Structure formats: structure tokens, C-alpha cells
């Protein structure tokens, strides 16, 4: 098992990505401390992990509130150590509108939200990891950080998370703490047309078609993806396991893309 006896915190564990990563961590032997704003969803993931033979507990944590994040991190550390931290929270926001017509508040919402939550959760974990001189912090971005998409403030928000990850990696390297950003592309399980997320991508695709005359670069797994298919949630979760494991011990201050080839670094 790649994560045997590791204590892992997953914020946004009630969501698609957070839940998938939490379950993957549990299968690899980690003890999970699941956090989220909606108790019922987080508790459901914890029950499933326990039913499958894993170890997990759920807590209601507002990942945009410093006191809440700090208290939960201290609770995890008190169990023996805080070895892995992964933040997968998301926020519904406007996408697909022209920047020239976008309200300032709509532009800033994703930038403020994602930057704040990643800053709070990464630094809370970092303080404990620095003291124990070990640990792995995983942040979450998307391909919007590198593509010219009608994503409004979401692209700059993802770019900010990646920059934060690099800076924090530099500060923590001498203490044996690694920081790596996971950058997936759209996944069928989370970007299903008919859902809110699907509507967001559909609207963005329409805007891309107006701007570039094609939607190949925005459809998950479309002609723009080298593998000719979208990346799967299972593949993203498996990558998150590897990045948190000793096998990725030489990786820090970097961004790992899992895109089925829709983005070439």
C-alpha cells in the first residue's frame, strides 16, 4: 500500500474529485479526515470508506474560515501526524461571458475564493508539517490556468493557485515538505451536460466557437485531446495517490497535468 499509516485531510470530500481521491487514499492504506461544508455529503463518503474496510471520519469545516481550518488541522495533527493535505473545494460561478461585459464582482469571485481557501488549508497543514519535518500538500488547478478560454476569473484563479503552490514549495523544501499542484482537465463524471457544470462548459464552448471557430479545445476528450478521450476521475485519483506517495518523493514545486493530452506543457 502506497499510503499505509498516513493521515490524510481531504477538503471538499463530498464532491466528485474530493470523494474519488479520498476513496483512493483509503484503498492505499491512509486514514482519512474528511472535511466539507455539507455534513451529509462528507459523512456519506466516510461511511462508504468504512464499509469498504478503510478508516475515515467526517467533519463540517468551512474551508474559507481560518479558525475552522486551523482547528481541524490541529485535530488531525493531534492524532499523531498530518501527512497529506488535499483541497478539492469548488464554487459555482459565472463562466462564458466576455471579459468586456463581465461585472467586477463576477470576475473576482473565483479568484478570491480559490486563492483564499488554498492559502488557508495549505498554510494550516504546512505549520504542522514543518514541525514534524515531513508531509505532502496537494493543491488543485485546471487546464483553464494555461488556456485562452472564456472562463472569466476562473483561469486567473487557477493560475494563482499554481503560483501559490510553487512559492510554498520553496518555503517548505528544507523541512522535508513537498507541495505539488494537480491540474486535471474536464471529466465526464463531473462535467455532465444537463448539470450545472455541464451548462457552464456548454456556454464556454459556445463562446470559444465564436472566438476561435472551433470547440475542439474545450470539449473534454474532443479532437484537441491526443488520446481522443477525456481523462477519467479514476485516473485523476490515481495520480493524486502517486503524488502523495514516497514514489513521488523527488517532486515538489511543480504542476502535474492529467488531461489525456488536451494540454501540452
pLDDT, tens digit, 9 for 90 and up, residues 140-177? 999 888 887 666 788 899 999 999 999 999 999 999 99
**Could you tell me which residues come within 8 angstroms of residue 91 by beta carbon, excluding any fewer than 6 positions away?**
109, 110, 113, 114
Burial bucket for residue 169 (CB in 10 Å: 0-12, 13-18, 19+): buried
Three-state DSSP state, 141: coil
pLDDT at 96 over 70: no
CA angle 141-81-65, nearest 5°? 50
Architecture of domain 7-191+232-255: 3-Layer(aba) Sandwich (3.40)
What is the pLDDT of the chain when averaged over all its residues? 87
pLDDT at 201 over 50: no
Ramachandran assignment for 221, one of left (phi > 0), alpha (psi -120 to 50 degrees), beta (any other) = left
* CA–CA distance, 149 with 110 (Å, rounded to integer): 15
For residue 260, the Cα-to-chain-centroid distance in whole angstroms is 17
Q: For 112-137, what is each residue's pLDDT tens digit?
A: 999 999 999 999 999 999 999 999 99
Any bridge partners for residue 136, and if so which?
A: 84, 178
Residue 240 dihedral angles phi and psi, to the nearest 5° = -65, -35
Amino acid at each position: 500500500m502506497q499510503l499505509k499509516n498516513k493521515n490524510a485531510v481531504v477538503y471538499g470530500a463530498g464532491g466528485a474529485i474530493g470523494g474519488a481521491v479520498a476513496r483512493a487514499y483509503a484503498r492505499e492504506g491512509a486514514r482519512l479526515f474528511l472535511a466539507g461544508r455539507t455534513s451529509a455529503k462528507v459523512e456519506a463518503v466516510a461511511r462508504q470508506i468504512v464499509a469498504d474496510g478503510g478508516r475515515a471520519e467526517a467533519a463540517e469545516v468551512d474551508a474559507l474560515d481560518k479558525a475552522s481550518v486551523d482547528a481541524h488541522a490541529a485535530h488531525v495533527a493531534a492524532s499523531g501526524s498530518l501527512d497529506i493535505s488535499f483541497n478539492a473545494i469548488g464554487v459555482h460561478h459565472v463562466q462564458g461571458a466576455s471579459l468586456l461585459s463581465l461585472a467586477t464582482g463576477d470576475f473576482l469571485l473565483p479568484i478570491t475564493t480559490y486563492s483564499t481557501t488554498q492559502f488557508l488549508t495549505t498554510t494550516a497543514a504546512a505549520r504542522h508539517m514543518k514541525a514534524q519535518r515531513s508531509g505532502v500538500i496537494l493543491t488543485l488547478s485546471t487546464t483553464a490556468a494555461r488556456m485562452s478560454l472564456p472562463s472569466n476569473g476562473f483561469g486567473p484563479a487557477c493560475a494563482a493557485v499554481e503560483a501559490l503552490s510553487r512559492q510554498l514549495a520553496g518555503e517548505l523544501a528544507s523541512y522535508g515538505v513537498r507541495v505539488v499542484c494537480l491540474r486535471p482537465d474536464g471529466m465526464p463524471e463531473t462535467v455532465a451536460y444537463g448539470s450545472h457544470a455541464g451548462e457552464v462548459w456548454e456556454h464556454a464552448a459556445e463562446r470559444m466557437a465564436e472566438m476561435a471557430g472551433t470547440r475542439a479545445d474545450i470539449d473534454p476528450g474532443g479532437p484537441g485531446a491526443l488520446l481522443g478521450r477525456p481523462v477519467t476521475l479514476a485516473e485523476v485519483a490515481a495520480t493524486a495517490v502517486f503524488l502523495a506517495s514516497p514514489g513521488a518523493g523527488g517532486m515538489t514545486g511543480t504542476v502535474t497535468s492529467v488531461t489525456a493530452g488536451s494540454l501540452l506543457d
